[in-house]
Structure 1
Amino acid sequence: MADLRPATQTLRPDSIGLAAIVFLIIATVAPMSGTIGALPLAFGLGTGSGTAAAFAVVAVVLVLFTVGYMAMSRHIANAGGFYVYIGKGLGMRMGRATGYVAFLSYNVFQVAIWGTFGFFCNIFTAEYFGFELPWIVWVLAGIAIMGTLGYFDIDVSAKVLGVAVVLEVAIILAMDFAILFQGGASGINLAPFSPGEFLSSNTAIGLMFAFLLFIGFEATAIYAEEAREPRKTIPRAAITAVLIIAGFYMLTSWSLAMAWGVEEAAGVALEDPGNFIFGAAATYLGEWSVAVMLVLFIVSTFATNLGFHNAIARYQFSLARDGWAPRVLERIHPKHRSPFMGSIVQTIIAAVMVLAFFVAGAHPYEQMFTWLISLGALGLIALMAFTSLAVIAYFRRTRRERSVWVTVISPAIAAVALAAEAVLLVANWGLQTMDAGGLVPYLPLLLLAAAAIGFAWKHGAAPAWAADERGDAAEAPEATEAVR
């Protein structure tokens, strides 16, 4: 029988390269899901035709964030992701607190997306095959497949996600270029990128939705132990993912503004969000594209959840290895070197959570999705803000990078912008959750509770990365090449 004792070594090294990590990240961000599910809300409730400019602003903030993040990643290769970065910069207690926040945020984000998966599976079967099933049937089937893929080598998931990403991006780009080639509703112009258009509507809400559509790119750090040449691959994957995602959404937002007309786009999106994308595709690409896009949308939501599943399993593995979660989660598969116990436990958590919503009679999209996506986004954006602060603290102490731009200015600007976005999310909580009552207004307190538990936990043996950090302080300053 294979030895499945708790492993203290790393996950399988050198198993995924730059392209595979970028595919994993872009699949987690879910271009198709974001385009169909969130862009209409960004147009209708937020910045209208100026949504393309909102993505440009958010891209600048995230590039600034990535500058410091890339520099720090050259000195860290750990599956713990952001909580290790925060721990090395702001202390072990903060690292543990943010590790629990990350665990909660990724889990609720994933469960939220399962709601859209089940909801749109029924829309597709009702429209084209004339039948519907309880949405929980589709979701549990998807969770079972996801758990199976998560059990194997990460390269298996990367290949599945790679195919999904190529197909979903291809159909959206086909729609974009069809709109631009045909001249849109009233000719091609650059008004969506103008400050006047960007500021003419609800700028805060538009930026909020734009940030939400980047959630998932931060998971590059989680794959550091499995990456080939992680000190080079992880930074390159992070900046590549940000630029690709930003370019995709800027182009798509601009094209949709052209498709409906700069003055009319916001009204169309607000009046009929479901038809905003499909109507443009049918008009400029053909009716056939609607069925293809609906199928790929379902595939995209599954791909997103597979990406989050891999991220959560690695978070659980890293927390267990550091002594902050049950040791059983530290087990890795002797052949696939995947965190298979973390994958199994995460699969069970997802199934239990969606079953709870189903039994309670919650709507999978209007309730489960909207409530939990807001909670997960708030937690992950807050983590990114703390990571930027950790970058400043880490390099101030270790002097491993000497560029003031890399170690202070860029992460400081990112920290302020990300913190402001977290405040916006809380201030607009009712809008995001459709003014739901009951316990929904108090959901953000779960993040504070997770952080408090982690921060107050009694000290045990220091994790390996914390011991390394104590060594960092004693080292002579080591200058490395600054981010160009």
Structure 2
Amino acid sequence: MASHPAPTPAPGPHASAPTLRPGALGTADIAFFVVSAAAPLTVMAGVAPLALLIGGTGAPAAYLAAGLTLGLFAVGFTTMSRHVRGAGGFYAFITQGLGRPAGFGAALLALLGYLGMNIGVYGLLSSATHDTLLSLTGLDVPWPLIALTGLVVIWYGGYRSIDFGAKLLGVLLLAETGILVLLAGAVLLKGGAHGLSLDAFSPAHLTDRGMPGVLAMAFAAFTGFESTVIYRREARDPDRTVPRATYLAVAFLGLFYAFVVWTVIQAFGDREVVAAAAEDPGGLFFTAISGYVGPWAADTMHVLIVTSLLASLLAFHNATNRYGLALAEEGVLPAALGRVHPRHRSPYVAGLAQTVLGAVVVLAFAAAGADPYTQLLLWVNTPGMLALVTLQLLAALAVPLYFRRLTHRAGVLRTVLAPVTATVLLAAALWLIVTHTDLITGASPAVNTMLILLVPTVFLIGTGYALRARATRPGVYAAFATEHAPPAAPAPTS
């Protein structure tokens, strides 16, 4: 029997172009990307001692409060994700709720946020790897060489398929959380320094003098959790997978952060832990695990901080690539950034562009004689973190405005009460972060002001671009972030 050739598709710019691999990621895979981006081990060993120093033993309550706030945000966010199915993440939500000019501004703000969070961490990777190599092997490797090597490693991870990245992140995440669980288990088994106490979770600690600064640090520790929606096109059953991964990530981070900080308090004692953090904040966790587990565990923790940072960088690299891909498809960024690798099905051109930009920033800071931690990390990371928290606030505000115009079956709790409450709490969180930026950066008032103002400046540039596109590129403007789910069925009438 003669066979007939398959019909040739009509010619078009995307008729045979490869796409991202659908159905590649399950709930656990997406959660690995999100939790890895937060870098739990680095947050605990590197930032939690400062939180204890500023806020005292109430620090665990601050992580729980931040987790509860972002859990409320996730209620409206994931409900809206079932209706707005574009690949644009934050900016797609904000466009549908607040309008296209705000959406264009959010798109540029998302690029600032993800690029800032990604590129800045190469400074921390350089510093941590340098210190670990020097301590364990005696090698004194220049930090720019470490950063450039890291850029190549992360580029390759993003160049490969998304399921390769998910498997790699799963292994690295289990390792970094495992060492923290080992520390916590040893402290609990030995009963801590003076017995176990739950005083750290008392709500009264939320009114302690240093708590605003600790809350600012706690919210910053969750940065990147909302990137679950960016992987929608690669998720299996995204209407279920994306919400589950979002809730799983928020719940895990909030409970895990609070639990680990509480166990470290028990390791030293409620009264002694603040003095120990003041004496050696960078060594607090290493001292604890060395005393309760053994010196070998402290050496292992040093190595795992480096792998934790690599996992965080790969997670943010992949998220940033997909934002670049989406904006190229929208016609906002050059079309070349929208190319997908035919075999790996990864946005490889966007990944290469991001890597080149990262190398330029690293080399510029190195040429200026900057410190990789206090300048490359903090000066680049801070506006990135502020941009992402601002986007969370705008997305929370967009949810009730979107559902007010849509016939739907979602309840008032998910479409009004939770997102409105989250909007108020996120506005308070953003205010805390802005007013306590000096605690995060340690920089001068002039530098802090410049870093803070970068966020509204980028947003305004984006809205200005939108107004220009409306006049000069009406097709691009009209089609921006318009991919929706089918309209919900009308509510039954009585």
TM-score (norm 1): 0.94
Determine the C-alpha separation between the residues in 2 that align with 1:15 and 1:195.
42
Shift of 1:400: 2.0
Determine the C-alpha separation between the residues in 1 that align with 2:455 and 2:125.
25
Determine the C-alpha separation between the residues in 1 that align with 2:198 and 2:488.
52
2:363 aligned partner: 355
Determine the C-alpha separation between the residues in 2 that align with 1:393 and 1:9.
36
1:409 equivalent in alignment to 2:384: no
Determine the C-alpha separation between the residues in 2 that align with 1:404 and 1:109.
34
Determine the C-alpha separation between the residues in 2 that align with 1:150 and 1:478.
43
1:33 equivalent in alignment to 2:20: no
Shift of 1:338: 1.2
* Partner AA of 1:190 in structure 2: L
Shift of 1:78: 2.7
> Do the aligned partners of 2:100 and 2:480 also contact (CA within 8 Å) in 1?
no
Question: CA distance change for structure 1 residues 9 and 83 in 2, over 3 Å: closer, same or farther?
Answer: farther
1:373 equivalent in alignment to 2:381: yes
Determine the C-alpha separation between the residues in 1 that align with 2:282 and 2:318.
30
Question: CA distance change for structure 1 residues 479 and 115 in 2, over 3 Å: closer, same or farther?
Answer: farther
Determine the C-alpha separation between the residues in 1 that align with 2:488 and 2:203.
47
- The runs of 5 or more residues in structure 1 that have no matched partner are none
Determine the C-alpha separation between the residues in 1 that align with 2:19 and 2:420.
32
Shift of 1:137: 0.7
1:17 aligned partner: 26
1:86 aligned partner: 94
Question: CA distance change for structure 1 residues 81 and 253 in 2, over 3 Å: closer, same or farther?
Answer: same
- Aligned residue pairs total 474
For 2:405, what is the secondary structure of its paired residue?
helix
1:276 aligned partner: 284
1:207 aligned partner: 215
Question: CA distance change for structure 1 residues 173 and 201 in 2, over 3 Å: closer, same or farther?
Answer: farther
- The runs of 5 or more residues in structure 2 that have no matched partner are 1-12
Determine the C-alpha separation between the residues in 2 that align with 1:196 and 1:268.
23
Determine the C-alpha separation between the residues in 1 that align with 2:448 and 2:40.
28
CA deviation vs aligned residue, 1:47-67 (integer Å, no higher than 9, x gap): 221111111111110110011
Shift of 1:8: 7.4
Question: CA distance change for structure 1 residues 463 and 293 in 2, over 3 Å: closer, same or farther?
Answer: farther
Determine the C-alpha separation between the residues in 2 that align with 1:479 and 1:343.
44
For 1:80, what is the secondary structure of its paired residue?
coil
Determine the C-alpha separation between the residues in 1 that align with 2:418 and 2:249.
18
> Do the aligned partners of 2:289 and 2:295 also contact (CA within 8 Å) in 1?
yes
CA deviation vs aligned residue, 1:8-46 (integer Å, no higher than 9, x gap): 78522111111111111111111111111111111112x
1:233 equivalent in alignment to 2:268: no
Q: Write out the 4+ residue segments of structure 1 that deviate beyond 6 Å after TM superposition.
A: 5-9
Determine the C-alpha separation between the residues in 2 that align with 1:266 and 1:380.
31
1:390 equivalent in alignment to 2:398: yes
Shift of 1:145: 1.0
1:157 aligned partner: 165
Question: CA distance change for structure 1 residues 262 and 439 in 2, over 3 Å: closer, same or farther?
Answer: closer
2:338 to 305, 317, 330: 330
Shift of 1:449: 2.0
Shift of 1:371: 2.1
Shift of 1:270: 2.6
* Partner AA of 1:200 in structure 2: D
CA deviation vs aligned residue, 1:403-425 (integer Å, no higher than 9, x gap): 11111110011111111111112
* Partner AA of 1:376 in structure 2: G
* Partner AA of 1:328 in structure 2: A
| Structure 2 counterparts to residues 62-461 of structure 1, below 5 A | 62-436=70-444, 439-457=447-465, 458=468, 459=470, 460=473, 461=475
Shift of 1:466: 4.1
Shift of 1:355: 1.1
Determine the C-alpha separation between the residues in 2 that align with 1:348 and 1:463.
32
Q: Which piece of structure 1 moves more, 269-278 or 293-302?
A: 269-278
Determine the C-alpha separation between the residues in 1 that align with 2:348 and 2:443.
39
* Partner AA of 1:427 in structure 2: T
Determine the C-alpha separation between the residues in 1 that align with 2:381 and 2:79.
30
Shift of 1:191: 0.4
For 1:398, what is the secondary structure of its paired residue?
coil
* Partner AA of 2:223 in structure 1: I
Question: CA distance change for structure 1 residues 396 and 404 in 2, over 3 Å: closer, same or farther?
Answer: same
Shift of 1:317: 0.6
Determine the C-alpha separation between the residues in 2 that align with 1:411 and 1:273.
37
Determine the C-alpha separation between the residues in 2 that align with 1:203 and 1:111.
29
Shift of 1:464: 4.7
Identical amino acids, percent of aligned pairs: 37
> Do the aligned partners of 1:71 and 1:401 also contact (CA within 8 Å) in 2?
no
Determine the C-alpha separation between the residues in 2 that align with 1:99 and 1:9.
24
TM-score (norm 2): 0.92
> Do the aligned partners of 1:392 and 1:407 also contact (CA within 8 Å) in 2?
yes
Shift of 1:79: 2.3
Shift of 1:227: 0.4
> Do the aligned partners of 2:96 and 2:398 also contact (CA within 8 Å) in 1?
yes
Shift of 1:477: 5.4
CA deviation vs aligned residue, 1:320-341 (integer Å, no higher than 9, x gap): 1111111111111122221111
Determine the C-alpha separation between the residues in 1 that align with 2:18 and 2:150.
31
> Do the aligned partners of 1:178 and 1:284 also contact (CA within 8 Å) in 2?
yes
Shift of 1:368: 1.7
> Do the aligned partners of 1:329 and 1:342 also contact (CA within 8 Å) in 2?
yes
Question: CA distance change for structure 1 residues 467 and 107 in 2, over 3 Å: closer, same or farther?
Answer: closer
